[in-house]
Amino acid sequence: MRPSSSVPTAGAPTSSLSDKGALSVSRFVTVVGLCVAIFVLVVLIAPWIGASGISMRGVIEGAYPDRDIFLITRMPRVLFGALVGGALAVSGVLFQAILRNSLATPFTLGISSGSSFGAVVAIWLGLDLVIFGVPVVSMAAFGGAFLTILFVFFVARSNTGLPTFTLLLAGVTLNLIFGALILFIHYAANFQQSYMMTRWMMGSLYDATDFRPVLQTAPFVLAAFVGMIWLSPQLNPLTAGEEWAASRGVNVERVKKLSYFAASILTGSVTAFSGPIGFVGLIVPHTLRLIAGPDHRLLIPGSFFLGGAFLVICDTLARTIIAPTEIPVGVVTALLGGPFFIFLLKRRPGDLW
């Protein structure tokens, strides 16, 4: 087995957590319970905030337009934003664990780029259709993400398992290739198509005007989320190195593969509808890690709820700062994430884990 210490990382962990280390119920309830409380509070408050004022009495009585604004314009968007934010935050935790790179995000392995390429191709071909309630652009985006997942996996896979360094290089290379192809299609597209491509790639929750995106992505997100909660104790020793994890009885290759596919499904399923929304998978895991520590039994559930709350807050800002004009939520997360990224780079590596 290739020593994990040979893999270049940014902020590789200097300490380890036992995969069977005790986690008190009180600590779990305190950390995760606080994240859940923040999540619930944000989801309950956000639908009432917007360019048009609405009253609770009007919504309850079904008065127009209060009820329509609440149930059609805002509530589906808030729930979808919570789902997208949670999925991206958990995938960030998983990629940081399996790559042992504190700066890894859902974009690192090219999944978001593959999704963007699929969407851009569909827009270029004029496939502005809806099949079984799902836009063809979203289908193409999910297909691009899925093919990227498989391609990176089979390129990186070797007789000795799934080398982290090869996985990282394959993802970075695909990012560059897809970026070049997207630029070419932009060049070949007409003005309207180019505008639609740019708008989609900025990342937005604008199209969540009913509950269908929530219902269509929730099964993938919740299944991967529950699976990773079950697997979370085995991620603790993995962050200290593959040899150490193996000595603790962890099936390293199995954990890496399951984590890779779970993180990829989380990213691909939500990006297909929202477009690429950056930095959620970087800001949320590290904020929680700095507060609660590196235990993945806390990080995974906590990041899901905190990530959902974070993206809902960002989207609320995006649709109210210069109302009635909306800013793509991807722009807001990037403006917040850029300084945070620099902050992480300037910290001592050992403090990130």
Per-residue pLDDT of the chain (353 residues; tens, 9 = 90+): 444 443 334 443 434 444 445 778 889 999 999 999 999 999 999 999 988 888 888 888 888 888 888 888 899 999 999 999 999 999 999 999 988 888 788 888 889 899 999 999 999 998 888 888 889 999 999 999 999 999 988 888 877 777 888 888 888 899 999 999 999 999 999 999 999 999 899 999 988 888 999 999 999 999 999 999 999 999 988 877 788 888 888 888 899 999 999 999 999 999 999 999 988 998 899 889 888 888 999 999 999 999 999 999 999 999 998 878 889 999 999 888 778 777 766 765 555 55
Contacts of residue 191, defined as CB under 8 A and 6 or more positions apart, other chains included, come to: none
Total count of residues recorded for the chain: 353
pLDDT at 317: 92
- Is 342 within the bounds of a domain? no
pLDDT at 324: 82
Q: Is the dihedral of CA 93, 95, 99, 101 positive or negative?
A: negative
pLDDT at 261: 93
∠ CA 86-89-94, rounded to 5° = 120
- Is 7 within the bounds of a domain? no
Single-letter amino acid, residue 230: W
Give yes or no for a contact between 17 and 292, defined as CB atoms under 8 angstroms apart. Answer: no
SS3 string, the chain, reads CCCHHHCCCCCCCCCCCCCCCCCCHHHHHHHHHHHHHHHHHHHHHHHHCCCCCCCHHHHHHCCCCHHHHHHHHHHHHHHHHHHHHHHHHHHHHHHHHHHCCCCCCCCCCCHHHHHHHHHHHHHHCCCCCEECCEEHHHHHHHHHHHHHHHHHHHHHCECCECCHHHHHHHHHHHHHHHHHHHHHHHHHCCHHHHHHHHHHHCCCCCCCCCCHHHHHHHHHHHHHHHHHHHHHHHHHHHCCCHHHHHHCCCCHHHHHHHHHHHHHHHHHHHHHHHCCCCCHHHHHHHHHHHHHCCCHHHHHHHHHHHHHHHHHHHHHHHHHCCCCCCCCHHHHHHHHHHHHHHHHHHCCHHHHC
Total-model pTM: 0.88
Give yes or no for a contact between 350 and 83, defined as CB atoms under 8 angstroms apart. Answer: no
- Is 346 within the bounds of a domain? no
- Is 267 within the bounds of a domain? yes
Residue tagged 């007789």 (tokens): 159
pLDDT at 11: 43
- Is 282 within the bounds of a domain? yes
Residue tagged 């695909």 (tokens): 174
pLDDT at 5: 40
- Is 171 within the bounds of a domain? yes
- Is 243 within the bounds of a domain? yes
pLDDT at 347: 67
> How many domains are there within the chain?
1
Nearest to 14 by CA among 348, 292, 234, 240: 240
Residue tagged 């997942």 (tokens): 149
What is the span of the domain harbouring residue 181?
23-328
Distance of CA 325 to the CA centre of its chain: 25
**Bridging pattern class, strands 130-131 and 134-135:** antiparallel
- The answer to whether the bond into 135 is cis (omega within 30° of 0) is no
Contacts of residue 344, defined as CB under 8 A and 6 or more positions apart, other chains included, come to: 11, 102, 103, 282, 286, 352
pLDDT at 21: 58
Residue tagged 């502005």 (tokens): 128
Contacts of residue 192, defined as CB under 8 A and 6 or more positions apart, other chains included, come to: none
- Is 275 within the bounds of a domain? yes
CATH code: domain of residue 33: 1.10.3470.10
